Structure 1
């Protein structure tokens, strides 16, 4: 079967190099090197890292035998021959190629791949591996021995589970969703939703499972109705929640500068959002005895470590690929940028830790440096502007109350000490007066 090489105008380029989609993201951040953010550590998915060099090539080649084992298991469960699966993937390979654009590694397949069969074989191996990895991570019988699983029984897999889980959410390490669709037509029961729920636990302190939340379940099932471009795109959609704005226009605001400590001084309470979605950022007035003097800024709580920092940056890279083609985009980028504005000192990080918004495995300085490094490279969307429009309105409407609250907040220890001294003096005065009367 021949595969056409002309680019369809209707096919969107959804998998790009991070360097091309997010300028500056490949600089060395304070918390990690380039490989920790972009390149896979254990398994290469798609064409971009297929031909790594040096130690990286040796490390990634170890997983190729596991891919063959996953393909054999897929053939067994689906009752299909390898040749039949190859023809199935070959039928969608041309569209899959266009999703990568004109990258040099894709062009390599064009120049050395008669009929597109090598490219299709790569998609087949990677697709079967990912689907089998989901099955192995979310088995129907969790008590079944690992030795019985064709993938987990392999040493190169069960010793690198964390690295594999990290790699499958890298922006450069994706294959188009249409490949998954073609394979899942032949094998039902792949626990995609449960797998995404399991991956999302990495962002949550205490591993609180939200799978019973009706809203979360709606997000899990969304791919049945609105097809994602790839696995990372589906994971991103699940983590940001539903869109709330329709306009693509970007509002103009004056320069913004508000730290977590400054918000506390203004009477704005920082709270951890209940939905745990990065897109659900809100700034509202709190009704206190109907006066509305206080404000409340709600942000999704997040666990920050090397894994989640890597995923945040890769989701931001995916948002940069989408650009402004969708209303209410840049949700993760906006979240990172909001937190970056809130932290200028280690005391600000401690304030966010105390409010349950950031649970970081990094030091206060390392956490501060991560957000300050990432934010300048990111675009922001309406969620970002909505939050700080609310902060500006609160400042303008409650300026007198803010001045009073700031004075009380900064001097509450001194005021408490003075009141204590006054209390002591008042007690002494009453005692002396009582003695004189006696």
Structure 2
């Protein structure tokens, strides 16, 4: 019996390396191209041990997957990235290692990390690449008297390899919120004096920190992040509107204070003076605190307006704005709001969120709430604050009622300021738009 046991043990020792060698399989590769970065996702059978290094002339990123076999046709990979030329296989010094080579169009910085299984995906190795940072020249923008549009950043949650929550019928949160965001963008862009900016313009992932940075670069007046809620049971339902909690806001202010080189982003010219003088750190703290308090106050006011309008088109889960610890809302200088459009985990609301008519209602409610707020609180250098100077040129298909609806004023007020005797308008006619 002992001899038999020893023989079995020896046999297992010989078989074990063969099992290890065939332990993993590369099942697929997906490329998610964003305008300024690219994410490459490697789908694997189990968690993989990997090594990577870069080469130049030409630029390449080499990824070695230990004990892995290839079961994917690299020629069939869809690639629309400006950074990635192609993905190919190369020979590794170790027979059990699969060597994947990313041929690049330029030098990049890369970040690799593993992800555990999350429905609908299994084990993954994520490769994020973006161009190497170029030196930036500081350009001082000259002040201008020209009135500007109010800019609203619309942030569709998740994207790319991050589907967000998934409904009982398989609906991806990333898809429905992007559709609602697009509808809201069209409404805002069609509103004179307003412009919308999307933090992601397609199905790709944008880092949470990057979303607020993109909004700041565009000098937005408001950031709205659109999501769909989820819970472990299907019962909860209803929309809600969130703003940043005071605790999270204070911690973010602390980070800004530590990064003296970023003070000028928040404080303009004063930031440049303060960052060169440590004795004036308390002044920086006071100024950043003022900026943050103003931003949070505006966020609460706008959030209350949105709750009121959204509640007219769908059930509310929270009847008042709530405070939460959301990364996308962390900018201390930008009024920021997160809208949960409903519970995708609730079968009834999942069906609603997939409905184009319901998406339109939600987008219209958000647009109406934003416009109502800015009609009363528009920054002084904007067209909306100086609406008395606004004019409309009549185009084909226009009617007085359509024009009034577009600018959210009454037909009678347009007739009065333009001395119109009837509701008839002429093609090419220029009309003054009254203040409300």
**Superposition TM-score tier, normalisation by shorter sequence:** under 0.3
Normalized per residue, the structure richer in strand is 2
TM-score by length of 2: 0.22
Normalized per residue, the structure richer in helix is 1
RCO higher in structure (CA 8 A, sep ≥6): 1
